[in-house]
Amino acid sequence: MYDLMVRARVLEERMIQVYRRGDAFFWIGGPGEEAFGVALGLQVLKGKGPKYDFLHLHYRCTPTLLAMGMKEEDALRLIMNKATDVSTGGRNFANHYCYPEWNVAPVSSPIGIQYSVAIGTALSQKRNKSKGVSIITGGDAGSAEGDFASGLIWSSRPGSELPMYITIQNNKWGISTDYDSQHGEKHVSDRGKPFGIRAKVHDGNDPIAAYLAIKEDLAYIRKTGKPAISEFKVSRLYGHSSASGANRVANEDCCLENFEKKLHKMKVLTAADFKQIREKHFENIRVLTDQIREEPAPSGDSIWDHTYANNENADWRNF
């Protein structure tokens, strides 16, 4: 778990560097959320189709996908808009992944859509009597969207409850707007309570606590077929995106440093181990970055590709 958290952090920090060096137009991600993200990714029932979990992730999901088995190359190709980018072919921003073979739905730039879309995958899982869960991640600010309410209402219809795991990574920010100035509710997850949805709040900066909370929630949903909502209090270490500078924020709690202190105290790993693990990932990702920089860009004449399925013509000039 620690190794994955370090990989995710080093990768995100490298992606910020990629942006700063001019090899990418934009960076957006979630360094600081590795404890929650890795804990989630390690527990996904991974596969394709309604028998498995569906993931409706937001744009801070690199740790989750690394824990599921994603390669660093995928993240780097995506941020550098390479033709080799498996998620979008150079068409979309960093952290906007999709993996149909793992039921990872496309990450949406419009905030909150994932709560409504997850209703459909959960419905399919329910009809197929699957143990699969439709897992949604989102931020605290995004919970103000109507789609968040849609997720609560549709997942809790009496007799038609859906296996939806609604998670909120509450970093107390929506770009530059602070949580306390916009939210009257004490906890976002409290909004599940009037619908009879099991609702909890967790320390999302503690990987062990997050792992156990997710384990318990997923077991409950798989057993009952009913939704659950969990709010994870997390940190935002580099701001929202490159648009806000992507500089390290000094006063935020760091889940990785906290975990290192704990592992050190428990004599699981030493300071030398921490250094060696970080350097190993740093070097691997540095080499990959240099390789991928040379990979081909998408060609301009590919713009019509995949507008319709099977590449049916969608250009009116050719109707």
> Which residues contribute to the site for other proteins (CB under 8 A)?
49-50, 54, 85-92, 96, 98-100, 105-106, 108, 110, 113, 115-125, 127, 134, 146-147, 150, 153-154, 157, 305-310, 312-314, 316, 319
Residue carrying the six token digits 């081909």: 296
Closest to other proteins by CB, 110 vs 184, is 110
**Token pair belonging to 125:** 């899982």
Rounded to whole angstroms, how far apart are CA atoms 255 and 55?
Answer: 23
Closest to other proteins by CB, 130 vs 205, is 130
Closest to other proteins by CB, 36 vs 102, is 102
Closest to other proteins by CB, 34 vs 74, is 74
Which residues lie across from 194 on neighbouring strands?
none
Cβ at position 203, least distance to other proteins in Å: 31
**Token pair belonging to 269:** 């790993």
Which ranges of the chain would DSSP assign to H, the alpha helix? 2-20, 34-41, 62-68, 72-79, 113-127, 146-155, 207-224, 255-265, 271-293
Cβ at position 195, least distance to other proteins in Å: 12
Cβ at position 266, least distance to other proteins in Å: 42
- Are 163 and 125 in contact, with CB atoms under 8 Å apart? yes
Cβ at position 55, least distance to other proteins in Å: 11
Contacts (Cβ under 8 Å, ≥6 apart) of 309: none
Closest to other proteins by CB, 177 vs 311, is 311
Cβ at position 227, least distance to other proteins in Å: 14
Residues in the chain: 319
Residue 91 φ then ψ, to 5°: -95, -15
